[in-house]
Amino acid sequence: MKINGEEHEFPDGINVLQACERIGIDIPHFCYHPALRVAGSCRMCKVEVIQGGRKRIDISCNVPVQDGLEIITDSPAVKTARKMTLEFELANHPLDCPVCDVAGECNLQNYYMEYGLHDSRMNESKHTKHKATGIGRSIVHDGERCVLCSRCVRFLSDVTKTRELGIFGMGSKEELTVYPGASLDNDYAGNVVDLCPVGALTDKDFRFKRRSWFLSHTSSICQLCSRGCNVRIDYDVNPYHEHKRNIQMRTHRTETTEYARIQRIKPRHNEQVNDYWMCDHGRYGYRPTDSADRLLHPLLREDGELKQVKTSVAIKQAATAILSAIGRNPDKAAIIVSPLLTNEELFTVHRLFREKLNLPNLDHKLPIDSDWYGDNILRTPDPFPNRTGCEWIGLHPLPKGAGIADLDDAIAGGKINTLLSILADPRDYLKEASLKKLKNRFYILRNLPDELKAYTDIALPAAAWGEYKGTFTNFSGRIQRLNQAFKPLGEARPVWSIMLDLSILMKKTLSLKNFDDVFRAQRNKVHLLSELEWDDIGDTGVMALEKHVEAVA
Amino acid sequence: MSDTITTSSLAGVAEKLKPRYETSKAAMMPLLYEVQARDGYISPEAETEIAELLGVSPTEVHESVSFYPLLFEKPVGKYHIQFCHNISCSLVGAEPLIELLRKELGVGPGEVTEDGLFSYQRAECLGCCADAPVMLVNEELFGKLTEEKIRNIIEQLRAGKKPKNDTPLTETDEIEDPVLSVNFMVPNGANIKVAEQRGAYTALRKALKEMEPQKIIEEVKSAGLRGMGGAGFPAGLKWSFVPKDPTLTKYLCVNCDESEPGTCKDREIMRRDPHRLIEGAIIACRAFGAEKAYVYIRREFYHEKKVFDKAIEEARKAGYIGDNILDSGFSIDFVTHPGAGAYICGEETGLINSIEGKKGWPRIKPPFPALQGIFDKPTVVNNVETLSNIPYIINNGIDAYRRRGTEKSPGTKLFGVSGQVKRPGIFELPMGFSLRELIYGICGGMREGHLLKAVIPGGCSVPVLTADEIDVALDFESLEEGGTSLGSGGIIVMDDSVSMPWALEILERFYAHESCGQCTPCREGVMWMYKILQRMNNGRGRKGDIELLIDIANNIEGQTVCPLGAAAAWPVQAMLKKFRGEFEELIQ
Ligand SMILES: Cc1cc2nc3c(=O)[nH]c(=O)nc-3n(C[C@H](O)[C@H](O)[C@H](O)COP(=O)(O)O)c2cc1C
Ligand code: SF4
Ligand code: SF4
Ligand code: SF4
Ligand code: FES
């Protein structure tokens, strides 16, 4: 078929709007969304369609691509139609842009700049509807800004099937709102904010925090369950805020949301993983990265008290402690990692402690919080992002070794006296008595809760989500890439980098110098993919097995 | 199947209603009426109750309740009055009567009198335009209203008596060689015995016994029967779009929403000769293989629905409806479904959604109903009048049908004439009849002392004709040539006392009220036009208003999901073109 005079070929089953997008022609639209059933109601996506010698203006979102079709996207008739549709959309739209959260990323505003730019001819009274009403845990609704595209309604009826929102009433008085008395609190509620093409549904969590144009974006992977939803971290590393935050963290140790770096999380489209969505647990689960209880500097117990020390001192001390504990008997130490570690981190832990030191007591099977549940949308039954990585790399106890389940007994019986717990709060899997009994309690953690301090001998700060790069392997065996958005706070470092130093000090050097070395080494060992490069993983990940089969073939 | 259900528990009612439809949600509308009859209105608790009974969410129930004007969200009076304020009634003095009603009752629209006896609402067209001015008191229609009659009715009701209803039967004429109005003047014409004596169901026998379905389609095609719902689409051709696959479930949908202002013809068939429609509908089902006919009847036709439901029961008893009818191996079922006061449900896909228990939002096309209609099954939507022609065609053949009318618009048509003529009424005329002859001959010309000013010839959506333009034949092609349309055949006649900006404001008030709200140009643009007109008529016209109105209308036309947008634009375009001077006078 022809678009603007040029011949193109498209696969069956897509519509003209999608076809245009594929060849780089953006068609303005409000109601169309690739993951929702077509509504065809906003009338913004009009193009000229020539079919069987007859010309008509039609909505591109509901015209299937067909042989012999001719589409014109930039004729005067199309331009007039767009301009008028915008004028209709804006007829009753409030002049909220200066105070609207979505300004800067609002389709209505953008299209107006691109296709409208009319002076308002609307001199009649505008409708008044609900303003800034909380309609759920995290969603604020503004009826006047709504363009009634029904995206949110279709999402809630077809994806979550919870139907909290409806378009009630009739004609120009109708209003999108929550069912009287209901609350938009389902586990996927936050997605309606992403879907809303204007500022009618905004996120309480983000409202008035930052103007969208001050945000930087980095692609990453949600770390809160084994699906590994593809996400975008929106953050602000304005040095002034950084400075304020540092002061606040040092002096008050209060919540630092105001000056936090991560401002919000948005899902990224990945048909194979999360489509366009993410769950609210993941969306609002970014706070720990900037939380006030982050561990910023290494701590070491000296004369019965935890004191801040240099990283090199802490690592050296840890190396010595572990070496002396396992000097003659490697059974004396247990290394526990959380399936929260990236593949690169897991790999270095495994190489050092299993391959080099042959420790039998290595495990990752942390207990799962009883509040966690999976569903049939995105949430999986496993709240850890990288269990597959742990299994493939082999972070299991040896047959004669102790796993997490055996630890309390082993400690009570004096068989184990040294613990290295990585990104896992030992209280989650050990009894208090065990913590008391252990001789060496060495942690690599992102935050060190006050209650744990009494049971800490050495604590090294670990880089948090967003602060370093790496890969996760999700529940289906998909390798996905976390990118670094900003530098780690304080002296925090990724676990792999701590492991490299530790290995040198333990005289068991892994002979790896930097991230790239680690990435390649783990890839070679685990995925049998000697060709897989960081860039190959791309923003949407690769299926390890498929790649492997390809490589073998 | 009758709509009056005697089971006391709502759950029982729901269980009875559900089998009429493919989805339980579709039982929502009749169930809502049950609740409304029980409680007087639909409370949030009742919404939840219904949601549970039907296995849908309360949101879906509330979407419907808040959408349809005849589903009440708060209690109404013991006597709820709907007074039509649309064009045909306004032309004959509805406004002063509504004012009188307000004074008599001492409450405004939407309020209930202190004694709980009365409430009233301003209604858009009630589909009885030839009897204007009209009002419904609960389920009873009162027409040809005067101040005195209204006072009387209120007085009687206050006294706890049943008011006398002296509304005359709508004027009509016996004509030579009729197709549709054969039984209009026959006493008890709606009774199956009477109807059968006059030949009802002979065509059905013939169609079942002597004709292959394809042959029926061919006959109707060759007869040239056009759709009478407004668009004039050839009926046989429409049927032929339905897939032939016998394993597919197919439906016929009979459109008796009749709500286009000025149109009041289907009503006469429903109440005076329902068996003609039933017979035509069964033959249509046979032709394209439908197994069920859903008859969508606007709620305001309480009386008509009762007559029609009774006729269905009679036909069922007589063996014309049911399994293996007349031993032909063909089975057919009928379900009547009530509307709820929304004009948009006359649009075929709005109607389909309404039957499915949803808001009457029209659907985008593709898919077309012939492939995916009610419950996503192939569906034909036909107007009452269209289907009522079929028995005649089958009985008498193509040539007999084509004896009347023109080559492209064969046959006859029911014209409803309303407005300021001496004798409004409903008249069957051969297609191609002269508009002038209809107004000055049959309808007796204009009221004493007045001259003709304008005529809207096909329901209020079509472009207006001036007094100089009425020498035109009443058929699809001639009116098209005359820059307007035959539409639904509702002819609205206006005399020289009428201000065109006033009339246009009434029309746009109607469209603004009836826009379903789904698509942007119509939802926003029509209300905008109405507000401008309102302001102009209030003496605050501004420079640029006329150009703006035209620009808005031009950009609604053809840009919307359904033709309602265009229907709202045409009157504006035509009025501003033909009576521009009157609008200019309103601009300071
Ligand atoms: C806004 C609107 C209202 C309509 N109302 C009616 C109606 O009340 N009755 C009717 O038969 N057709 C109505 N129609 C036309 C129907 O969509 C449809 O074309 C018709 O029922 C088809 O029947 P026919 O082909 O037998 O005429 C309406 C159309 C529109 C756009
Ligand atoms: S709230 Fe937003 S997404 Fe929902 S209908 Fe309105 S504009 Fe569309
Ligand atoms: S489903 Fe899992 S991976 Fe996706 S956002 Fe939620 S917690 Fe994160
Ligand atoms: S044109 Fe009007 S009535 Fe038709 S779908 Fe659009 S808003 Fe609804
Ligand atoms: S995007 Fe096509 S009509 Fe809204």
Q: Say if the Cβ atoms of A85 and B520 lie within 8 Å.
A: yes
Model pLDDT for residues B50-90, shown as the tens digit of each residue: 999 999 999 999 999 999 999 999 999 999 999 999 999 99
pLDDT above 90 as % of chain B: 98
In B271-407 the beta strands, taken as DSSP E runs, fall at: 292-297, 333-338, 379-383
Model pLDDT for residues A15-36, shown as the tens digit of each residue: 999 999 999 999 999 999 999 9
Tokens of A547: 């790649």
Residue (of A343, A365, A362, A379) closest to A473 by Cα position: A343
Residue (of B486, B483, B498) closest to B385 by Cα position: B486
pLDDT above 70 as % of chain A: 96
Chain B residue numbers touching A124 (CB-CB < 8 A)? 528, 531-532, 535
Determine the residue of chain A that is closest to B526 in CA distance: A172
Instruction: Tell me how close the Cα of A62 comes to any Cα of chain B, in angstroms.
Output: 7
For the cut 60, the answer to whether the pLDDT of residue B512 exceeds it is: yes
Q: Say if the Cβ atoms of B523 and A64 lie within 8 Å.
A: no
Report pLDDT for B8. 60
Query: Residue B116: left (phi > 0), alpha (psi -120 to 50), or beta?
Result: left
Distance in angstroms (rounded) separating the CA atoms of residues B369 and B242: 9
pLDDT above 90 as % of chain A: 82
Determine the residue of chain B that is closest to A84 in CA distance: B555
For the cut 70, the answer to whether the pLDDT of residue A254 exceeds it is: no
Q: Say if the Cβ atoms of B555 and A124 lie within 8 Å.
A: no
Contacts (Cβ under 8 Å, ≥6 apart) of A295: A445, A446, A447, A448, A459, A461, A462, A490, A492
Compare CB distances from A122 to B515, B523, B528 and report the shortest one's residue: B528
For the cut 50, the answer to whether the pLDDT of residue B119 exceeds it is: yes
Distance in angstroms (rounded) separating the CA atoms of residues B409 and B388: 16
CA angle B27-B30-B34, nearest 5°?
Answer: 125
Determine the residue of chain B that is closest to A167 in CA distance: B63
Q: Say if the Cβ atoms of A38 and B364 lie within 8 Å.
A: yes
Strand order in the sheet with B333-338: B333-338, B292-297, B251-256, B379-383
Report pLDDT for B5. 47
- 3-state DSSP assignment of residue A419: strand
Residue (of B167, B161, B170, B85) closest to B121 by Cα position: B85
Ligand nearest to C-alpha A41: 5
Which uninterrupted H or E stretch holds B17? Answer: helix B10-17
Average pLDDT of chain B to the nearest whole number: 96
DSSP state of A490: T
B450 vs A: CB within 8 A: no
* Mean of pLDDT values over B525-536: 98
A301 backbone dihedrals φ, ψ, rounded to 5°: -80, 120
Distance in angstroms (rounded) separating the CA atoms of residues A61 and A19: 10
The B residues from 360 to 399 touching A (CB cutoff 8 Å) are 364, 366
Task: Using pLDDT thresholds of 50, 70 and 90, give the confidence band for residue B3.
Answer: very low
Ligand nearest to C-alpha B560: 4
* Mean of pLDDT values over A278-300: 93
Q: Kindly list the protein residues whose Cβ atom lies closer than 6 A to any atom of ligand 4.
A: B 344, 362, 515-519, 522-523, 560-562, 564-565
In A189-302 the beta strands, taken as DSSP E runs, fall at: 201-203, 216-221, 230-235, 262-267, 299-302
Q: Which domains does chain B have, with CATH numbers?
A: 7-67 (1.10.10.1590), 79-158 (3.40.30.10), 201-401 (3.40.50.11540), 412-495 (3.10.20.600), 500-584 (1.20.1440.230)
Distance in angstroms (rounded) separating the CA atoms of residues B101 and B81: 10
* Mean of pLDDT values over B519-523: 97
Q: Say if the Cβ atoms of B520 and A148 lie within 8 Å.
A: yes
Strand order in the sheet with B465-466: B425-430, B412-419, B490-495, B452-456, B465-466
How many helical (H) and strand (E) elements, i.e. helices and strands, does chain A have? 16, 23
In B457-575 the beta strands, taken as DSSP E runs, fall at: 465-466, 473-474, 490-495
Average pLDDT of chain A to the nearest whole number: 93
Adjacent-strand bridge partners of A462: A493
Instruction: Please give the interface size between A and B, counted as residue pairs whose CB atoms are below 8 Å apart.
Output: 121
Q: Say if the Cβ atoms of A169 and B66 lie within 8 Å.
A: yes
Largest CA distance in chain B: 74
CB B271 within 8 A of CB B195: no
B146 vs A: CB within 8 A: no
Expressed in angstroms and rounded, the spacing between residue A372 Cα and the centre of ligand 3 is 12
Cis ω on the peptide bond leading into residue B133 (within 30° of 0)? yes
**What DSSP letter does each residue of B421-436 carry, written as one string?**
BSS-EEEEEETTEEHH
- Confidence (pTM): 0.95
pLDDT above 70 as % of chain B: 99
Query: Where do the H-state alpha helices sit in B181-298?
Result: 192-197, 202-210, 213-223, 235-240, 266-272, 274-288
DSSP state of B171: P
B514 vs A: CB within 8 A: yes
Q: Which residue has the higher pLDDT, A546 or B128?
A: B128
Cis ω on the peptide bond leading into residue A34 (within 30° of 0)? no
Distances in Å between the Cα of B518 and the Cα atoms of A149, A152, A159, B19 are 8, 14, 21, 30
Contacts (Cβ under 8 Å, ≥6 apart) of A77: A48, A57
Tokens of B57: 């969410």
Task: Using pLDDT thresholds of 50, 70 and 90, give the confidence band for residue B4.
Answer: very low
In A39-138 the beta strands, taken as DSSP E runs, fall at: 46-51, 54-59, 70-72, 133-134
Report pLDDT for A253. 56
* Amino acid (1-letter code) at residue B405: G
Adjacent-strand bridge partners of B380: B252
**What DSSP letter does each residue of B433-479 carry, written as one string?**
EEHHIIIIIIT--BPTT--EEEEE-SSTTSPPEEGGG---EESHHHH
Residue written as token pair 């068939």 = B269
Model pLDDT for residues B335-378, shown as the tens digit of each residue: 999 999 999 999 999 999 999 999 999 999 999 999 999 999 99
Compare CB distances from A171 to B44, B57, B517 and report the shortest one's residue: B517
Instruction: Tell me how close the Cα of A222 comes to any Cα of chain B, in angstroms.
Output: 32
Chain B residue numbers touching A163 (CB-CB < 8 A)? 57, 59-60
Tokens of B229: 């719902």
Instruction: Please tell me the residue having the least CA distance from ligand 3 atom 4.
Output: A229
Distance in angstroms (rounded) separating the CA atoms of residues A464 and A325: 29
Report pLDDT for B360. 97
DSSP state of B41: S
Report pLDDT for A550. 63
Model pLDDT for residues B285-312, shown as the tens digit of each residue: 999 999 999 999 999 999 999 999 999 9
Q: Are strands A333-337 and A418-422 parallel, antiparallel or unpaired?
A: parallel
Contacts (Cβ under 8 Å, ≥6 apart) of B229: B255, B346, B381, B382, B383, B385, B386, B488
Chain A residue numbers touching B535 (CB-CB < 8 A)? 124
Task: Using pLDDT thresholds of 50, 70 and 90, give the confidence band for residue A553.
Answer: low
For the cut 60, the answer to whether the pLDDT of residue B1 exceeds it is: no
> Ligand 1 atom closest to Cα of B349?
17
CB A203 within 8 A of CB A190: yes
* Amino acid (1-letter code) at residue A71: I
- Give me Rg for the CA atoms of chain A: 28
Ligand nearest to C-alpha A231: 3
* Mean of pLDDT values over A128-140: 92
Distance in angstroms (rounded) separating the CA atoms of residues B300 and B403: 36
Distance in angstroms (rounded) separating the CA atoms of residues B514 and B501: 20
> Ligand 4 atom closest to Cα of B514?
3
**What DSSP letter does each residue of A227-247 carry, written as one string?**
T--EEEEEE---HHHHHHHHH
Residues A20, A25, A29, A32, CA torsion sign: positive
For the cut 90, the answer to whether the pLDDT of residue A243 exceeds it is: no
Task: Using pLDDT thresholds of 50, 70 and 90, give the confidence band for residue B2.
Answer: very low
Q: Say if the Cβ atoms of B555 and A81 lie within 8 Å.
A: yes
* Mean of pLDDT values over B537-563: 97
Report pLDDT for B169. 93
Report pLDDT for A430. 97
